[in-house]
Amino acid sequence: MNEDRLLTKEEAAKYLRISRATLGRLMKEIPYIKLGRRVLFKMSDIDKYLESKKVK
């Protein structure tokens, strides 16, 4: 259930341990939800993005 949690930009940046500016650049690659002026990220989408960046 935790992977379906919605994160704000600030929460997503903290989760990824990056700045909000860097997150803004990554928004071209990480799917997000736009509700009016709010931007939200599904934790599972962030985890999938991280998994795709794993070096094998």
What does DSSP say about strands 6-8 and 33-35: parallel, antiparallel, or unpaired? unpaired
> Contact, 13 vs 20, CB < 8 A?
yes
How far does the chain reach from its first CA to its final CA, in angstroms?
Answer: 28
Which phi-psi region, left, alpha or beta, contains residue 53 (left: φ > 0; alpha: ψ -120 to 50)? alpha
**Treating both helix axes as pointing N-terminal to C-terminal, what angle do 9-16 and 43-52 enclose, rounded to 10 degrees?**
40
Distinct helix (H) and strand (E) counts, the chain: 3, 3
State the residue range of the domain holding 41: 2-52
- Confidence class of residue 2 from pLDDT cuts 50, 70 and 90? low
Number of domains in the chain: 1
pLDDT in tens, 17-48: 999 999 999 999 999 999 999 999 999 999 99
Q: What is the CATH number of the domain that holds 12?
A: 3.90.105.50
